[in-house]
Amino acid sequence: MDEAKVMEFVFKTVGDVGAVLAGSLVVIGDRLGFYRALAGAGPLTSAELAERTGTAERHVREWLAAQAATGYVSYLGDGRYELPEEHVAPLTQETHPAFVVGALETAIGAVQATDRVAESMRTGAGLSWGDQDHHVHVGCERFFRPGYVNYLTSAWLPAMDGVAERLEQGVAVADIGCGHGASTIHLAQTYPRSRFLGVDPHAGSVEAARKHAADAGVTDRVVFEQSTAKELGGSYGLIAFFDCLHDLGDPVGALRAAGEHLDADGAVLLVEPNAGDSVTDNLNPVGAAYYGFSTLLCTPNALSQEAATVLGTQAGQARTTEVAHEAGFRRVRRVAETPFNMVLELRR
Ligand SMILES: C[S@@+](CC[C@H](N)C(=O)[O-])C[C@H]1O[C@@H](n2cnc3c(N)ncnc32)[C@H](O)[C@@H]1O
């Protein structure tokens, strides 16, 4: 055995301890306005930051030191700390494509399920999305919203065949597994002539989505219902699954139901994690994050339902295409991608 490799591994795990804690420290920094106060302010002492944010200096001093050790803020060596300008958008700009707080908030929410997931692994039971910590629900909305705001209506829909044009003219749209409704509301704001139904089985998410729709002033064209993918009724020109197909206990059944409720020119928009097709393809930092979320959130949710086909978060395009074919969609086309998502258009 190579003793140096033992120590190398131990140091890697020390980094992971810091990473687990970093999620919590970022959520604190976000909530208390530390990053927003540091942004563009130049070097600040802990007393100055505490004063500007109405917080207690001794706590803030420790937070700043931890943030400097993790590389989130810079320490100038004289008691003053600075937020590098390159970190401002990722830590303070809610709809910027580089915004990272939502992902870290989801992560700290996900780890709250550690004991329950361990027990589920013993018994084979599942754990539903709605039973996760509230940071998961809020974090997920904040994690995915920048993708919708920046790419959905400007890049993903225009890349689909005739779909953006139909939305502009006015068509019915269903957003399956809509969560807090970030995608539904963004669509409604962009296409005021269309009508939108968001469905999700989690009561708390539906309630939050309704509130966000009211705040955004789009309740004249957006309705949210508490129901599952397979309970869908009506007829739609577009049915979207944003980062949720892999969470479902019966993704084939859900897509089959969608196929039955598309109008003659209707299409399905499937946004899924941009994973490779094999485990080997996903052994990288994005894969580590997504397999972690899959183990704590997505796979337990699917196992809490029918568990007919449990895809896992990183099923990849080949497996997802098989599922779409099985559900009756003959054409599956990758129309766009980001480092985190692949965007597929499904046609019957
Ligand atoms: C990862 S979240 C994505 C939420 C939202 N689409 C977004 O992009 O922010 C997965 C969502 O799927 C929902 N979900 C779980 N099982 C479902 C089912 N059987 N039918 C419809 N939605 C479901 C969950 O409640 C959760 O809101």
**Domains parsed from the chain with CATH numbers:** 3-90 (1.10.10.10), 104-347 (3.40.50.150)
The confidence band for 20, taking pLDDT boundaries of 50, 70 and 90, is: very high
Angstrom distance (rounded) from CA 37 to CA 68: 16
Tokens of 247: 């969470």
User: DSSP secondary structure string, 44-107?
Assistant: EEHHHHHHHHT--HHHHHHHHHHHHHHTSSEE-SSSEEE--GGGHHHHH-TTSTT--HHHHHHH
Q: Find out whether the beta carbon of 305 lies less than 6 Å from any atom of ligand 1.
A: yes
Q: What is the dihedral of CA 316, 319, 325, 326, to 10 degrees?
A: -140
User: What proportion of the chain, given as a percentage, has pLDDT over 90?
Assistant: 99
Q: Find out whether the beta carbon of 183 lies less than 6 Å from any atom of ligand 1.
A: yes
User: Would you say 99 and 90 are in contact if contact means Cβ atoms under 8 Å apart?
Assistant: yes
State mean pLDDT over 24-41.
98
State mean pLDDT over 323-347.
96
Angstrom distance (rounded) from CA 105 to CA 140: 8
Most informative mutation of 247, 252, 270, 305 for ligand 1 (most atoms within 8 A of CB): 247
Q: What is the pTM assigned to this prediction?
A: 0.95
Q: Is the pLDDT reported for residue 284 higher than 90?
A: yes
Other CB atoms within a 10 A radius of the CB of residue 158 amount to 13
In this prediction, residue 339 carries a pLDDT of: 87
Q: With residue 303 as reference, give the H or E element that holds it.
A: helix 299-304
Angstrom distance (rounded) from CA 81 to CA 72: 10
Summarize pLDDT for 83-138 with one digit per residue, the tens: 999 999 999 999 999 999 999 999 999 999 999 999 999 999 999 999 999 999 99
State mean pLDDT over 313-339.
96
Summarize pLDDT for 180-194 with one digit per residue, the tens: 999 999 999 999 999
What amino acid occupies position 92? T
